[in-house]
């Protein structure tokens, strides 16, 4: 299974469209979003996708975003920290603005992957048994080019994609 991981879209509809098009073209079946849409209206671009959304610190109205995620349909979810299992992998998804929460997840030894955003900087590091990944940002002030990543749950490979 291929999963696209996005973060920090900050209402940048153009970058979101490009990322979703690239993800679909590479066979992604689900979206994990690490927060900071900033407004729920951007979720209209995610029609036809199953989306797991972790609330970000810049999200203006969590209730509206939660409702928009729920309208995306069966299997979509919303929360502060999402704990998922995909393809036999245990995955945590969060925004990352609460350093103690992020560190606890990474060092817990409970997850194969911890995905987060917030810093707008791509990151891929192994910490014990956990791989900590920041896909980069699709909006706001990105450090480097706008990017997201793809996780292949069969091979455990992560590919960063610039848009």
pLDDT digit string (tens) for 19-70?
A: 999 999 999 999 999 999 999 999 999 999 999 999 999 998 889 999 999 9
pLDDT attached to residue 143: 80
Burial 18-32 (b: 16+ CB within 10 A, else e): bbbebbeeeebebbb
Asked whether the predicted pLDDT for residue 159 surpasses 90, the reply is yes
State the CATH number of the domain containing residue 54: 3.60.21.10
Count of the separate structural domains present in the chain: 1
81-121 pLDDT, tens digit each:
999 999 999 999 999 999 999 999 999 999 999 999 999 99
Quote the domain boundaries for residue 8: 2-162
Confidence band of 141 (pLDDT split at 50, 70, 90): confident
pLDDT score of 60: 84
| pTM for the predicted model, two decimal places | 0.96
């Amino acid at each position: 299974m291929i999963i696209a991981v996005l973060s920090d879209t900050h209402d940048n509809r153009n970058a979101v469209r490009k990322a979703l098009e690239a993800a679909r073209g590479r066979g992604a079946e689900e979206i994990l979003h690490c927060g900071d849409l900033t407004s729920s209206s951007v979720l209209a671009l995610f029609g036809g996708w199953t989306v797991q959304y972790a609330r970000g610190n810049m999200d203006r109205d969590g209730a509206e975003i939660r409702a928009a995620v729920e309208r995306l349909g069966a299997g979509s979810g919303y929360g502060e920290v999402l704990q998922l299992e995909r393809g036999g992998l245990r995955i945590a998804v969060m925004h990352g603005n609460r350093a103690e929460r992020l560190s606890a997840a990474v060092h817990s030894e409970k997850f194969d992957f911890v995905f987060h955003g917030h810093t707008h900087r791509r990151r891929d590091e192994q910490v014990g048994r956990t791989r900590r990944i920041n896909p980069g940002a699709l909006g706001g002030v990105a450090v480097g080019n706008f990017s997201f990543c793809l996780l292949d749950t069969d091979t455990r490979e992560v590919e960063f994609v610039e848009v």
